[in-house]
Amino acid sequence: MEEKKEFFLMTFLIFALLALNYNFLDSKIENFLSDSKIQASVDRIIDGDTIAAGNETIRLLGINTPERKEFYYKEAKEFLEGKILNKTITLEFGKDKKDRYGRTLAYIFLGSENVNIEIVKNGFANYYFPSGKDKHYNSLKNAWDECVENEINLCEKSEDKCAECIELKSLDIKEQKIILANKCDFQCDLSSWNLKDEGRKKFVFPKFTVDSNTEIGVIVGNKTDTNKELFWKNEDYVWTRTGDTLFLRDENGKLVLWESY
């Protein structure tokens, strides 16, 4: 009887040890793959944050550049062309190697230089972390702060007189609602101003004026606009729970305010 107990106990310990070792090795392998780097030759620049190398389309991690017909779309693409076109780069992968479109996700290094960071620092992109922050988040956030301080390209401050009047009162992620306020003693015309998240979602203000010392709400939903509430239509959500940034720009694309969480 004692021999059977010892046998079962020994068997249990062996399986437990194997399971622990497997999990340990699996974790090590996963970390190795996520941190792995490979070299590639850049054949084509598709836009400011997407390139082609061989048979792969590569979407740059941690950044988002303007779309076609938006301010600085062309300049962002030309900046990336000047940096890496026909050059050998190093790709560094994050936790997700592919996006939903099948594109490879990577940080791009030219020598020791993180090109993704340089794009933000030069005002051709904002930082962008839809799946959560990674080890390069702080560097990209600092690059954006430097860009704003120097007022370069996308970081250039609005000269509209109402840029000093409009402030963000609250951003409610759960309710998908933001509240802006006009703190000045005169009306502010926000027609064609726009709100944007870190990604592609954008709300363009209709013909709209905010009275002095008045608050307005912008809510994700398909209800009818009122004089105190505007609705960000055709979106299920805008502000992500993993972290996001709100950008408010005037009709000329100049930065009025921004807020990260």
- Give the dihedral of Cα atoms 104, 110, 111, 115; nearest 10 deg: -90
Mean pLDDT value across the chain:
90
The pLDDT of 67-79, averaged and rounded, is: 96
Q: What are the structural domains of the chain?
A: 37-154 (2.40.50.90), 158-260 (2.60.40.1260)
Give the bridge partners for 167, in sequence order.
181
Confidence check: pLDDT of 4 > 70:
no
The pLDDT of 214-225, averaged and rounded, is: 97
CA distance 60 to 57: 10
The pLDDT of 238-251, averaged and rounded, is: 96
Catalytic pick from 81, 103, 235, 251?
Answer: 103
Confidence check: pLDDT of 29 > 80:
no
Residue 153's CB is within 10 A of a number of other CB atoms, namely 19
Q: Is 56 a catalytic residue?
A: no
Confidence check: pLDDT of 191 > 80:
yes
Confidence check: pLDDT of 152 > 70:
yes
Q: Is 249 a catalytic residue?
A: no
CA distance 249 to 254: 5
User: Which range has the worst mean pLDDT, 13-17, 90-94, 165-169, 195-199?
Assistant: 13-17
% of the chain at pLDDT higher than 90: 84
Higher local confidence (pLDDT), 95 or 126: 126
Q: Is 44 a catalytic residue?
A: no
CA distance 261 to 45: 32
Compute the half-sphere exposure of residue 218: CA atoms within 13 Å on the CB side of its CA: 27
Catalytic pick from 6, 30, 44, 67?
Answer: 67
Higher local confidence (pLDDT), 36 or 3: 36
Give the bridge partners for 92, in sequence order.
37, 107
The pLDDT of 127-152, averaged and rounded, is: 96
The structure's pTM equals 0.82
Confidence check: pLDDT of 25 > 90:
no
pLDDT of residue 6: 53
The residue written with tokens 């606009």 in the block is 225
